[in-house]
Structure 1
């Protein structure tokens, strides 16, 4: 069974020195390829709303 070799991207919201919320975004959805347009992720270059988890 194929496995994704790229780790997820983690977005943290910080308050002072504490991490108060986060979101995980699969890297393959936002990857950019300069050489081949078919290899870009479906959300590459698009403005997104990401809901954070507490």
Structure 2
């Protein structure tokens, strides 16, 4: 079966040595491309609020 070529980006919120939150973001959403804005991800270069 085909698989995704690029894994998700995993963001962890740490408090000291403890993991208190986690979020998975598709890499295709945040990818930058010098070709132009049509080749960039929809969140590239934008401030984003992520609820953990």
TM-score calculated relative to the size of structure 2: 0.84
Structure 1 SS opposite 2:23: strand
Ranges in structure 1 where 5+ consecutive residues have no aligned partner: none
Ranges in structure 2 where 5+ consecutive residues have no aligned partner: none
Distance, in Å, in 2 between the alignment partners of 1:44 and 1:2 is 26
What residue is the counterpart of 1:28 in the other structure? Answer: 28
What residue is the counterpart of 1:43 in the other structure? Answer: 43
Between the two proteins, the alignment pairs up a number of residues equal to 52
Mean alpha-carbon deviation: is it higher for 19-28 or for 29-38? 29-38
TM-score calculated relative to the size of structure 1: 0.81
Shift >6 Å, 4+ stretches: none
Tell me the C-alpha RMSD between the 2 structures: 1.6
